[in-house]
């Protein structure tokens, strides 16, 4: 959510800032801006509402803005409507301080009132303008320099933030600070880069510093210094990022979403192979011992698609290991005073490792003395660093807002954990475990087969571009699959879609079924497929258009208007295959409707604010 970039060195800053911001477009935004310090010391601010291309046009791709030090931002509106006036960067009243900000300042009204009493006036509705003026207020009142000024702000501010700040009196420095919003500093030769995510600076450097919560940094042209909130120096080491710059490019595909859908076989295979040793699961590189995994209850906390992964894993773990599992929306977890046993294990799932609500849930669990295990895709992310143990997925950079390959790799890790818990509990012997692992190893090839058979999905999408309401129904794991399929269609095509446990449809929702309503029935759980078929018959008799999705070779006990099959696998692993045609369906419907597939309206890739 929002993107911050910065540059200081010997090159012209604006072209570098614009190029870096392009790499962060996937985070979601509604306006963009730059602040570049000229050689004469003036800070020039250029802002536009809308796409980054407008800012590129206004600045002639950065060539019209001179200066070797600057900061940039793509804004996703929180306080104040999307507008050029509310776009970042923001200056304080007299221009002494210029700020870009990710996050939300929760006590901005209180601080704004304080500043008004001290003679400040405001030209926007944003909380960020309050930050600029508050920094100016402390800077002038205490006259102790930028580090002291930012520390005072951090002690007074409530909420989340990543800040990049220019002080008029410090022409050779950029200052940064963070709390609960991600930020990294990239180190080049005689130059430094600032970004809220690694892909923004991969073109320029792979050597980065991670700033921890409550830390600040002064970034000069030749050096960087780190401080804690008490203004004390902090020692940090540069880390080399193992990420391929080309992995964040489209590679000939029209959109990132379809590229990432096609990358799923490789991503799932790489994730599985990273934690399989012959016929055994091996998490030793993650320092996961039997003692750590042994638990009386598992609590999965996640948001969005990661939550849907959790629902699938709940079914699989309870079936195989017979350990009680509950899946919690991370955004609700800490606010309802959850009951956690002393031997509970909280499992947090997040692609970015920066999801604000999931990070807060991890911290809540740790404060209660409960062990935490993270499943994340981004090394060095906040959740990865704060959880007791971390399992990384190997999806690689995921740029499209709608997740696909991250979801699939999270499922893969979840399956392996389920097998480990079943082994620890004595529920599976070596022969049974080996059989499941053999089936897991077959999943990448089966996903590839589905991708080679996408023509029927393309045709169906082309024939139904104007649908208004869609229902996806199933039972057990099929219901969990429907949850993800419905979210994908809503996210990228803006079609109202609901997922329902098939048996719940008649408890009120069936009243919404009318002539032509599309109902997708998922039928992979053979023990309940007849019951789901009966629910499909109920809606068909009311005029619904029925499409079924099932395993090849299975007899479907319902007359459908359309049917799509995928290679058969063990019922427990059905989500890994069935989700693929649902992802493709969402993608092609979005294309038919002429929408921005990779950057759906109002959505951000990484939700780093509550």
With CA atoms as reference, report the closest residue to 70 among 34, 24, 97: 34
Q: What letters, b where the CB count within 10 A reaches 16 and e where it falls short, cover 236-271?
A: beeeebebeeebbeeeeeebbbbbbbbbbbbbbbbb
Asked whether 401 and 598 are in contact (CB, 8 A), the reply is: yes
Asked whether 336 and 589 are in contact (CB, 8 A), the reply is: no
Distances (CA, A) of 578 to 178, 400, 474, 537, 553: 40, 20, 12, 21, 15
Q: DSSP strand E in 22-91: where?
A: 31-37, 43-49, 69-75, 90-91
In this structure, the strands spanning 371-376 and 344-350 are parallel
How many whole angstroms separate alpha carbon 187 and alpha carbon 378? Answer: 19
Q: Is 2 a catalytic residue?
A: yes
Asked whether 295 and 343 are in contact (CB, 8 A), the reply is: yes
The SS3 assignment for 235 reads: coil
Question: Token pair of 216, please?
Answer: 């600040």
**Kind plus residue range of the DSSP H or E element containing 449:** helix 430-451
Q: Which member of 2, 56, 92, 303 is catalytic?
A: 2
What are the contacts of 430-436 at 24+ separation with CB within 8 A? 430/279, 433/279, 433/280, 433/281, 434/279, 436/570, 436/572
Question: Token pair of 46, please?
Answer: 């250029």
How many whole angstroms separate alpha carbon 548 and alpha carbon 533? Answer: 9
With CA atoms as reference, report the closest residue to 598 among 462, 492, 459, 483: 492
Residue 151: φ, ψ to 5°: -60, -40
Find out whether the peptide bond into 374 is cis, omega within 30 degrees of 0: no
Q: Is 266 a catalytic residue?
A: no
With CA atoms as reference, report the closest residue to 375 among 422, 340, 416: 416
Spatial neighbors of 14 by CB under 8 A, at least 6 apart, are 34, 36, 59, 62, 63, 64, 65, 66, 67, 70
Asked whether 138 and 158 are in contact (CB, 8 A), the reply is: no
How many whole angstroms separate alpha carbon 210 and alpha carbon 232? Answer: 17
How many whole angstroms separate alpha carbon 106 and alpha carbon 127? Answer: 8
Q: DSSP strand E in 399-468: where?
A: none
Asked whether 460 and 585 are in contact (CB, 8 A), the reply is: yes
With CA atoms as reference, report the closest residue to 576 among 399, 343, 416: 416
Distances (CA, A) of 420 to 285, 293, 343, 550: 15, 8, 17, 28
Q: Which member of 47, 259, 488, 605 is catalytic?
A: 605
Distance of CA 221 to the CA centre of its chain: 32
Q: Which residues pair with 565 in a beta bridge?
A: 550
How many whole angstroms separate alpha carbon 89 and alpha carbon 75? Answer: 9
Active site residues: 2, 605
């Amino acid at each position: 959510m929002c993107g911050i970039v910065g540059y200081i060195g010997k090159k012209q800053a604006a072209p570098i800032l614009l190029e870096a911001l392009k790499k962060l477009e996937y985070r979601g935004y509604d306006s963009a801006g730059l602040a570049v310090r000229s050689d004469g010391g003036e800070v020039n601010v250029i802002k536009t509402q809308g796409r980054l291309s407008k800012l590129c046009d206004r600045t002639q791709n950065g060539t019209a803005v001179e200066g070797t030090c600057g900061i940039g931002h793509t804004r996703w509106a929180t306080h104040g409507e999307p507008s050029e006036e509310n776009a970042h960067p923001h200056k304080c009243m007299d221009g002494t301080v210029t700020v870009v900000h990710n996050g939300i300042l929760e006590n901005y009204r209180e601080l704004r009132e304080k500043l008004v009493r001290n003679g400040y006036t405001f030209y926007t509705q944003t909380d960020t303008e309050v930050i600029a003026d508050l920094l100016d207020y402390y800077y002038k009142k205490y006259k102790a320099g930028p580090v002291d000024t930012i520390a005072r702000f951090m002690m007074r501010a409530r909420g989340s933030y990543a800040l990049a700040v220019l002080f008029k009196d410090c022409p050779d420095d950029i200052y940064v600070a963070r709390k609960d919003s991600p930020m990294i500093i990239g180190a080049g030769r005689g130059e430094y880069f600032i970004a809220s995510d690694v892909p923004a600076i991969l073109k320029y450097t792979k050597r980065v510093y991670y700033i921890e919560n409550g830390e600040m940094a002064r970034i000069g042209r030749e050096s960087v210094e780190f401080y804690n909130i008490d203004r004390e120096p902090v020692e940090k080491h540069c880390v080399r990022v193992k990420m391929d710059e080309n992995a964040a490019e489209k590679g000939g595909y029209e959109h990132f979403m379809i590229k990432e859908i096609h990358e799923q076989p490789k991503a799932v295979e790489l994730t599985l192979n990273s934690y399989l040793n012959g016929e055994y699961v091996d998490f030793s590189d993650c320092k996961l011992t039997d003692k750590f995994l042994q638990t009386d209850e598992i609590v999965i906390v996640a948001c969005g698609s990661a939550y849907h992964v959790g629902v699938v894993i709940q079914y699989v773990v309870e079936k195989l290991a017979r350990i009680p599992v509950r899946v919690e929306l991370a955004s609700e977890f800490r606010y309802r005073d959850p009951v956690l046993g002393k031997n509970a294990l909280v499992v947090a799932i997040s692609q970015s490792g920066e999801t604000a609500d999931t990070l807060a849930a991890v911290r809540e669990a740790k404060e209660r003395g409960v062990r935490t295990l993270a499943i994340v895709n981004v090394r060095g992310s906040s959740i990865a660093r704060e959880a007791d143990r971390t399992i990384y997925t190997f999806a690689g950079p995921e740029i499209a807002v709608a997740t696909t390959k991250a979801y699939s790799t999270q499922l893969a890790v979840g399956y392996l954990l389920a097998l480990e818990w079943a082994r620890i509990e004595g529920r599976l012997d070596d022969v049974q475990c080996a059989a499941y692992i053999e089936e897991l190893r077959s999943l990448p090839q089966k996903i590839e087969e589905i991708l080679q058979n996408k023509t029927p999905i393309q045709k169906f999408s082309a024939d139904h571009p104007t649908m208004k309401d869609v229902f996806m129904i199933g039972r057990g794991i099929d219901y969990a699959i429907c949850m993800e399929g419905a979210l994908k269609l809503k996210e990228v095509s803006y079609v109202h879609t609901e997922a329902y446990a098939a048996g719940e449809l008649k408890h009120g929702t069936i009243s919404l079924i009318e002539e032509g309503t599309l109902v997708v029935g998922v039928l992979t759980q053979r023990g309940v497929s007849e019951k789901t078929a009966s629910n499909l018959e109920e809606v068909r008799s009311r005029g619904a258009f029925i499409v079924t999705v099932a395993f090849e070779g299975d007899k479907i006990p319902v007359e459908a208007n359309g049917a799509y099959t995928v290679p058969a696998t063990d019922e427990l692993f059905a989500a890994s295959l069935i989700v693929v045609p649902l992802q493709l369906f969402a993608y092609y419907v979005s294309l038919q409707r002429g929408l921005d597939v990779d950057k759906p309206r109002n959505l951000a890739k990484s939700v780093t604010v509550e």
